[in-house]
Amino acid sequence: MVFSSLLFLFRFLPIVILGYFILPRKFRNLFLLLFSLFFYAWGEPTYIALMLFSIVINFLGGIFVDKYKTTGSMKGAKTALIVSMVIDIGLLGVFKYTGFFLENVNAIMKTDLVLSIVLPIGISFYTFQMMSYVIDVYRGDTEVQKNIINFGCYVSLFPQLIAGPIVQYKTVAEQLETRAETADAFGEGVKRFMAGLSKKVLIANNLGVLWDTVSASDLTSVPALTAWLGILAFTFQIYFDFSGYSDMAIGLGKMFAFEFLENFDYPYISKSITEFWRRWHISLGTWFRDYLYIPLGGNRHGLLKQIRNIAVVWLMTGIWHGASWNFALWGLYFGVILILEKLFLLKLLKKLPSFISHVYSIFLFVYGWVIFALEDTSDILVYTKALFGSAGFLNRESMYLLLNFGLLLIIAGIFSTPLPKKLFAALEGKLPRLAFVLTVLGVVSAFVLSVVYITASSYNPFLYFRF
């Protein structure tokens, strides 16, 4: 995003909160809709019309699906569903994949076709949200929304607009119509928002410096220690960046009385890749399960078709993340692992000591981030060799990076587990007053340190904005 969304939030959030609670309840969704559109237009003014067009198309799609179902015309309802989905997927395809398609055509046909299209921020997220709504209306899993203000508020709600979580309409349908704002929920929202902000600004941003340093090096001369430090930095950077954004979104939602489902559940403590993907980006995994895997047949039609369905889902998961071959390769990488676990590895892992299962998982998901992070597929092979010592095992720079970032990596490792949360819960049980004081100090410190860091840095992008 061409502006700092964090600076934007700090600048306008107090005004939004004040305006929201001053207004009569019947105007609050309209207020959130207008501010959300303003928030999006501030960074993407060119594509605000695209979002509004998509909102109208899917709103009408839901209306027509419901109308035809009410009159008993399932053929008409299916046609309305298909039309809205074709438009959604078509827009996503044009804006996200045209450049990638032309690059490959040029490589194969030796042509020089160029069409410069800027990717609208968050289009993958809000497109999937709208598609899930129309599909659920068709299935009868949710009631149609006949108020375009409420529907527009659902699609564009600024806390989760540009990087998720992907909120299914049926999980917030009642909240759009009636919700009770309370001081306790607002306080919990502030704490959750500050926790996410700290993850992003104090941990993810600083570890991003280490990854940027390593990935910008001549990869053929990177020793093993430097390569491992680099990819561990990216491993923690992407987790604290994305889970931090999700925490901020959930926290902001609570402040306005919305309850968004959790998007992360300590994925780095997993003991299999199957478990890892139950804990990582839960809203995306749920979307592909509900709207692709199960419609394809899931596990209901034998092992071979289940393997096919897993492969399709994971190829699409990879492609969803970006228009580059490394993302497709990343999806297939995890698809193959999940298929192998389904066939026999899970049974074997359950028989092994938990430590070995955990090391197995760590190695596979850390290496998966190598594929994810390096868009040039030739760099993936070079970096893989570096991890295993093709350019030696360490040098002076390796030790410099270890000394400068080692402590931060340890802190990131600890906070990527439930241990700090469990320790604090135990403290709350025994010394609630002390826990309260520490909470207040923690929130204030997080706010001050984050603001100082943000204002000192000219660029604070979230990694998932590009998806």
- Measured from the Cβ of residue 2, the count of other Cβ atoms closer than 10 Å reads 11
Check if 321 is active-site. Answer: yes
Residue the block writes with tokens 């027509």: 64
CA dihedral 7, 189, 177, 180 (to 10 degrees): -140
Residue 369 contacts residue 231 (beta carbons within 8 Å): yes
* The pair of three-digit structure tokens given for residue 421, joined into one six-digit string: 């949360």
Q: How far apart are CA 118 and CA 33, in angstroms?
A: 24
Exposed/middle/buried for residue 433 (C-beta within 10 Å: 0-12, 13-18, 19+)? exposed
Q: Which of 281, 301, 321, 358 is catalytic?
A: 321
Amino acid at 453: Y
Closest to 269 (Cα-Cα) out of 354, 146, 198: 354
DSSP classification of residue 392: B
| Token pair 């969304």 in the structure block, residue | 5
Contact of 153 with 177, CB cutoff 8 Å: no
Q: Which of 368, 370, 362, 367 is nearest to 271 (CA)?
A: 362
Single-letter amino acid code for the residue at 21: F
For 108-135, the three-class secondary structure string (H helix, E strand, C coil) is: HHCCCCCCCCCCCCCHHHHHHHHHHHHH
- Please state, in angstroms and as integers, the Cα–Cα distance from residue 261 to each residue in 88, 165, 199, 268, 284, following that order: 24, 8, 19, 19, 12
Catalytic residues: 321
